Amino acid sequence: MLWRARWNLMVWIAPIRSCRLHGMGASNCPSRQELARYIEDWSKIAPHIGYRTYNFNLAESITPYSKVSIYKQEIPFLKAHKCSALNFETFGSWAIEGPHTYLSARLAWDAGANVDAIMAEFYDRLFGKAAPHVRSYWERVDRAFVEAATHAGSFYCLPRIWTPEMLRACTKDLEAAEKSAEGDIIRKRVRVFRRGLENARMYMDIHNASLEGDWVRAKDVYDRFLAHAREMVADGILNPYGVTYLERFVAPGVLAGYARCTDGCSIVARLPDEWQFRYDAEDRGESEKWFSPDAPSDGWRTVRTYTSTIEEQGIEEQMTFMWYSTRVNVDKAGAGLVLWFSDVDGRSKVWVNGKPAGEGAPGNFDIDLKGLLKPGPNSITVRVDHSRISDLALGGILGPAFIYSRSQPQQQP
């Protein structure tokens, strides 16, 4: 006999750990398929369901983002499965989330409303003759998220969305919209979206500069990006959290990378993108000396680190220990050499040429090499504790790493 909840009970579902890029039950998203089954099962026993979700890309919220296609399918699905209450956490960042924010309010009142008609009205009334180009822009953004071959949270999904081709096409859409706009008010509205698109362009400039090892350029773009975002906040078209997340998640790596290649510091060697990798579910790597330069190669595979997350490479996430190993050539091995990681998701242990070199907290960190290097090839092995989730579909080494020299000891803050 199936147990049923009392008539006055409402079950609230808040899927913060489910993918934020795809719709309910999406064929390209296992976690959203699981969520759909979860809601179907609850609807069999609960008389009422409430659903709490986000109108922004959680822990990023500064580049354009669309959920129009998601809500077109998702809200009727919820209504059909006893959902009678919706809670949208919303920032009101119109430059980057305008269309679906408006749509969410309309569908909250009428889950069966005609979405195509609502959006046609939205574009036509706000943009007049510029409407087709503005609509083309936002539908392009919408498709990019729906079709994205990633489920990573925060900023880590953005390189799969904001490709050079995507940026060019979106720019063309909004340039055409501005040219066809009738009157200053319409042009001003189009420029709101152009300022939002500029956020995506600047973020990708920072990302690409860091991948290329140009931390001076990365910081220069970051400084301009921060000023641009603050102006948007002052103008009421971006929520302050856009700036907060930029400072919290992007700034630390960029500023630390810049500090390690300026003011007497210089990069000696960049570590490669591709490393050897394996999981360690039984935590036997240390006892079996996987950090040894002569460790057997069985069980290891080649993965990319800073150009692609593990899940984007088709490797299923495991909440366990992650091991990485690589080799790097150093011309000279003197005093004052330091190994720096820009972004690691999890606490780390590092070995150099088979010897313990130090530990690092999540994020960016230094490892003082203390004479562990030798001229020529050197082995570097990292063990990352991924037993806890920081954000969706991440874990392990996520950013570039390099060896740098510092002529003066760094003072502790």
pLDDT tens by residue, 69-89: 999 999 999 999 999 999 999
How many other C-beta atoms are found inside a 10 Å radius of the C-beta of residue 72?
Answer: 20
- 294 and 235 within one domain: no
- 26 and 153 within one domain: yes
- 296 and 159 within one domain: no
Looking at residue 298, which CATH number applies to its domain? 2.60.120.260
Residue 1 has pLDDT above 60, yes or no: no
State which of 205, 236, 258 marks the end of a domain: 258
What residues make up the domain containing 307? 265-406
Helices 184-211/251-259 angle, 10° precision: 50
Percent of the chain, pLDDT > 90?
Answer: 94
| Interval 299-336: pLDDT, tens | 999 999 999 999 999 999 999 999 999 999 999 887 89
How many structural domains are present in the chain? 2
- 378 and 335 within one domain: yes
Does 74 fall in a domain?
A: yes
Question: Model pTM greater than 0.75?
Answer: yes
- 327 and 238 within one domain: no
pLDDT band, very low/low/confident/very high, at 4 (cuts 50, 70, 90): confident
